[in-house]
């Protein structure tokens, strides 16, 4: 019965790794102002070989980044 659990766990992990989802799991990026957010988003998007589409420092002090594929 244990092998069924591990098999399902392996299939789930492979599905996550192989998915085309653009969302990634990152810790929230804190920001004090818009300039901080833009710099953080540039670094984050560059990790995936992408460019910043938008970067906004929200009212809670966290940065919302949207990346797009580099052209």
Q: Note the pTM of the prediction, 2 decimals.
A: 0.58
Cα separations (Å) of 64 from 1, 6, 11, 18, 24? 43, 36, 31, 25, 13
Task: Round to whole Å and give the CA distance between 7 and 4.
Answer: 5
Reply yes or no on domain 26-71 having CATH 3.30.30: yes
User: What tens digit of pLDDT does each residue of 13-58 get?
Assistant: 444 444 444 444 456 888 889 998 999 999 989 988 999 999 999 8
């Amino acid at each position: 019965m244990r092998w069924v659990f591990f098999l399902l766990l392996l299939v789930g992990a492979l599905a996550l790794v192989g998915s085309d989802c653009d969302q990634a799991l990152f810790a929230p990026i804190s920001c004090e102002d818009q300039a901080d957010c833009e710099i953080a988003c540039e670094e984050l998007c560059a990790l995936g070989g992408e460019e910043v589409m938008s970067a906004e420092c929200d009212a809670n002090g966290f940065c919302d980044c949207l990346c797009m594929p580099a052209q």
